[in-house]
Amino acid sequence: MCILTVARPKERAIEQVDGPAALRDVVTLLKHSDELTPAHRILVDLEPESVLVAADPGQLRQIFWNLARNAIAAMPDGDGSMLDHSILLYGSNMSNSNAHNHFPLPTLVVGGGCGKIKGGQHLKYPDQTQLSNLLLTLLERAGVPEEKVGNSTGLMSEL
């Protein structure tokens, strides 16, 4: 076999791949690798049925492998989950795009932010509260203090 056959990137072979099965394969490899320390734990909570995605099977597994290794590298002491160390914001900046209205804006904040975000809450703010207040608060909790973001009027202390 020629070394270039192995070293040269292969053409993509897009096919229907069982995403959870590919993730389970990577987790099995990772659990038996030297990447993990006794302080790390891997929890996998996937629905039993398969979810088919159109992807190159090797590339999909490589993506899962890289994400897992990056997560482990980011938490060398294994203190908590990746979600405990993250802040994710999900929502929109526009409620009714036809009216160019930005109220109401249901917004979801997920993650512990390394202990800087209070979880398990459903917060409802007064009408016309600026979304920029939330952005200012998240920046402050992430260690990026700013005096103002857009038309913000202050921090959201309940978060």
CA atoms of 35 and 100, how far apart (whole Å): 49
Q: SS3 letters for the chain?
A: CCHHHHHCCCCCCCEEEEHHHHHHHHHHHHHCCCCCCCCCCCCCCCCCCCCEEEECHHHHHHHHHHHHHHHHHHCCCCCCCCHHHCCEEECCCCCECCCCECCCCCCEEECCCCCCCCCCCCCCCCCCCCHHHHHHHHHHHCCCCCCCCCCCCCCCCCC
User: Does residue 59 share a domain with residue 85?
Assistant: no
pLDDT at residue 83, rounded to an integer: 80
User: Does residue 85 share a domain with residue 159?
Assistant: yes
User: Does residue 85 share a domain with residue 155?
Assistant: yes
User: Does residue 89 share a domain with residue 134?
Assistant: yes
Min mean pLDDT across 8-12, 42-46, 89-93 is at 8-12
Of the chain, the end-to-end C-alpha distance in Å amounts to 59
Amino acid at 68: A
Look up the domain containing 86 and give its range: 81-159
User: Does residue 159 share a domain with residue 99?
Assistant: yes
pLDDT average, residue stretch 32-40: 82
Asked if the structure places residue 4 within a domain, the reply is: no
Q: Which of 74, 96, 116 is the last residue of a domain?
A: 74
pLDDT at residue 78, rounded to an integer: 66
Amino acid at 129: T
Q: Are 136 and 148 in contact (CB under 8 A)?
A: yes
Instruction: Give the predicted TM-score (pTM) of the model.
Output: 0.56
Q: Which of 74, 92, 109 is the last residue of a domain?
A: 74
The count of structural domains within the chain is 2
pLDDT at residue 33, rounded to an integer: 86
User: Does residue 101 share a domain with residue 62?
Assistant: no
pLDDT at residue 4, rounded to an integer: 47
Banded model confidence at residue 5, pLDDT cuts 50, 70, 90: very low
pLDDT digits (tens, 9 = 90+) for 44-92: 877 767 788 888 898 989 998 988 888 888 776 767 777 888 898 998 8
Asked if the structure places residue 2 within a domain, the reply is: no
Q: Which residues contact 23 (CB under 8 A, 6 or more apart)?
A: 44, 46, 64
User: Does residue 106 share a domain with residue 58?
Assistant: no
23 burial via Cβ count (<10 Å: 0-12, 13-18, 19+): buried
User: Does residue 89 share a domain with residue 51?
Assistant: no
Confidence check: pLDDT of 120 > 90: no
User: Does residue 85 share a domain with residue 69?
Assistant: no
pLDDT at residue 9, rounded to an integer: 63
Asked if the structure places residue 7 within a domain, the reply is: no
pLDDT average, residue stretch 100-117: 88
